[in-house]
Chains A and B, each alone.
Chain A
Amino acid sequence: MKLSHAEIQAAARAEAFAMPIDQIDPATPDYFENDTVGHYFERLRRDDPVHYCHSPLFGPYWSVTRFQDIMQVDTNHGIFSSDWSQGGITISEPPPSEAPLQMFIAMDPPLHDVQRKAVQPIVAPANLANLQTLIRERTCKVLDGLPRGENFNWVQHVSIELTTLMLATLFDFPLEDRHLLTQWSDVATANKDVDPKAPTREERMAELHKMAAYFTRLWNERVNASPGPDLISMMAHNPETRNMTAQEFMGNLVLLIVGGNDTTRNSMTGGLLALHSNPAEWDKLRNNPSLVDNMVSEIIRWQTPLAHMRRTALQDTALGGKNIQKGDKVVMWYLSGNRDEEAILNANKFIIDRPRARQHLSFGFGIHRCVGNRLAEMQLRILWEEIHKRFPVIEVMAEPVRVRSTFVRGFTELMVRIPK
């Protein structure tokens, strides 16, 4: 017999608080697929906030689970490296036979700085203002086209559609081929070791090479044209990124595609699920739509669409009373820090009018803080403003299907119905 959602949660909670502490390995894919990882994090925050364990999938690593300790790691890039040559920014790493992707999020200064600055103008205030009208038009069109009185997958019809359209615009990518961006984003974060349904490493690399070939064509068109306001043109015309290696080119494409797509997509779904699960909060929004701005930050905290970022210690150092050795893998669990009651009042409640809602970890902090945070907030704000104008009720018809990943905290399916 299949266990109910509540029964699965209760069993996980009992296990999390009963098992010997040294056996807790939060990077267990089942915990993410079943959304039970929060119980293990709660135990770790209480009993062993900087926690060492040996994962069968990812080897030995430290879990940093409290807000303040995460902040300490994130803001000390001189000690905690993001560089791909050290292991990069996720808990998993490619086998020695595979060339690692070289993206600026997985670089330390100074190379990180100049490459990041090449693309940063895409989200400068004036450019954001330009994008606002387009985002609203598209959001209205997508919402007005949704079926009424029948079940449909919110992930496919709303979250993927809106974020992929946005990403195509940022790249000035042919709209008719935009499904490729979704495909590449999913492939880029797929990990066969974690999810048996994921493509093999060979299939994954083949797909990423197709991506690089497609973008090379766009690059070649734009490098010879006058500079345009899209990401490809910005990189092609900037002296710091014009001569990137093939691994850097592919790496930065993956970074921009995943960063601009997978994250906001899952906050679009997670927000609906959170409001459905907290009907009093949805009532607050119906009665006071000016709460949308604050709610968007709360949704991003609540969802934490990237569950972690990884660093590698460049020297021996102390953290939360533990001795981290040079070369150790250190995982900052943003998802856990965002539920830390010592840093965030009532952290385990979804509260759309929460004070200081902006003080969450989902965008990271320090020099690698999310470049697109303001754009993401704007997309979510417009989505909820337009939902509010149209749909007093969106019913969630079934438990969501979650992505089997310890990195992307997301959904493949959320079946909903909008009453006629």
Chain B
Amino acid sequence: MFQVHFISFDGMRRSIETQIGENLMRAATDNAVPGIDGDCGGHCACATCHVFVSAPWAECLPIMQKNENDILEFTNERRESSRLACQITMTAELDGIELHMPEGQH
């Protein structure tokens, strides 16, 4: 099992176990992680699984596609480190990844 840490806007840490190949939005909603809504079910169509990913993890993520970039443009707190959890699939090198969450999902 591989660990994923979700850190809420006010600093609360929630750690879950995942498997290789698991979608991180789905992992969060299946474990009822507060702050990850996943309204569209993983179609990259709503930006309610918005997370911030910093080094060293950011370099291990898949390249952002245009549709992810487009939809992130409409979030309230777009940053350099913004990603959608539904576009991240668990790999061995992401073990221990920290995903920071914005104040609200929109």
Q: Which residues of A contact B (CB under 8 A)?
A: 71, 74-75, 109, 113, 116-117, 120-121, 123-126, 128, 356, 358-359, 363, 365-367, 369, 373-374
A369 with B45: CB separation less than 8 A: yes
Q: How far is A363 from B76 in the complex, measured between Cα atoms in Å?
A: 17
Instruction: Please classify the interface of chain A as helix (H, G, I), strand (E, B), loop, or mixed, using the class held by over half of its residues.
Output: helix
Q: Tell me whether B81 is interfacial, beta carbon within 8 Å.
A: no
B106 with A374: CB separation less than 8 A: yes
A120 with B76: CB separation less than 8 A: yes
CB-defined A-B contacts under 8 Å, sample of 6: A75-B43, A113-B73, A120-B76, A359-B38, A363-B39, A363-B46
Q: Which residues of B contact A (CB under 8 A)?
A: 29, 37-41, 43-46, 48, 67, 70-71, 73-74, 76, 102-104, 106
B43 with A358: CB separation less than 8 A: no
With A123-B106, A125-B104, A374-B104 as contacts: A359 and B45 at CB distance below 8 Å: no
Chain B residues closer than 8 Å to A366, beta-carbon distance: 45, 71
Minimum distance in angstroms from B104 CB to a CB of chain A = 3
Minimum distance in angstroms from B69 CB to a CB of chain A = 11
Chain B residues closer than 8 Å to A124, beta-carbon distance: 76, 104
B74 with A359: CB separation less than 8 A: no
Looking at the complex, which one of B41, B44, B76, B103 makes contact with A359 (CB distance below 8 Å)?
B41
Q: How far is A307 from B43 in the complex, measured between Cα atoms in Å?
A: 21
> Which residue in chain B gives the minimum CB-CB distance to A125?
B104
Minimum distance in angstroms from B82 CB to a CB of chain A = 15
Q: How far is A240 from B106 in the complex, measured between Cα atoms in Å?
A: 22
Chain B residues closer than 8 Å to A120, beta-carbon distance: 74, 76
Chain B residues closer than 8 Å to A356, beta-carbon distance: 29, 41
Minimum distance in angstroms from A327 CB to a CB of chain B = 24
> Which residue in chain A gives the minimum CB-CB distance to B40?
A365
Minimum distance in angstroms from B34 CB to a CB of chain A = 11
Besides A123-B106, A374-B104, 7 more A-B contacts (Cβ < 8 Å) are A75-B43, A75-B45, A113-B74, A124-B104, A125-B104, A359-B39, A365-B43
Minimum distance in angstroms from A31 CB to a CB of chain B = 28
A116 with B74: CB separation less than 8 A: yes
Q: How far is A367 from B68 in the complex, measured between Cα atoms in Å?
A: 11
A128 with B44: CB separation less than 8 A: no
A373 with B106: CB separation less than 8 A: yes
With A123-B106, A125-B103, A128-B104 as contacts: A358 and B74 at CB distance below 8 Å: no
> Which residue in chain B gives the minimum CB-CB distance to A68?
B43
Looking at the complex, which one of A116, A117, A128, A369 makes contact with B46 (CB distance below 8 Å)?
A369
Chain A residues closer than 8 Å to B74, beta-carbon distance: 113, 116-117, 120, 367, 369
Chain B residues closer than 8 Å to A367, beta-carbon distance: 70-71, 73-74
Minimum distance in angstroms from A355 CB to a CB of chain B = 10
Looking at the complex, which one of B44, B76, B104 makes contact with A75 (CB distance below 8 Å)?
B44
> Which residue in chain A gives the minimum CB-CB distance to B44?
A75
Looking at the complex, which one of A116, A123, A126, A365 makes contact with B45 (CB distance below 8 Å)?
A365
Looking at B44, B103, B106, the one whose CB has the most chain A CB atoms below 10 A away is B106
Minimum distance in angstroms from A122 CB to a CB of chain B = 11
A75 with B67: CB separation less than 8 A: yes
Minimum distance in angstroms from A380 CB to a CB of chain B = 16
Chain A residues closer than 8 Å to B40, beta-carbon distance: 71, 359, 365
Q: How far is A358 from B41 in the complex, measured between Cα atoms in Å?
A: 9
**9 closest residue pairs by CB, A with B:** A125-B104, A365-B45, A125-B103, A75-B45, A358-B39, A359-B41, A124-B76, A365-B40, A366-B45
Chain A residues closer than 8 Å to B46, beta-carbon distance: 363, 365, 369
> Which residue in chain A gives the minimum CB-CB distance to B76?
A124
Chain B residues closer than 8 Å to A369, beta-carbon distance: 45-46, 74
Looking at the complex, which one of A71, A363, A373, A374 makes contact with B43 (CB distance below 8 Å)?
A71
B39 with A126: CB separation less than 8 A: no
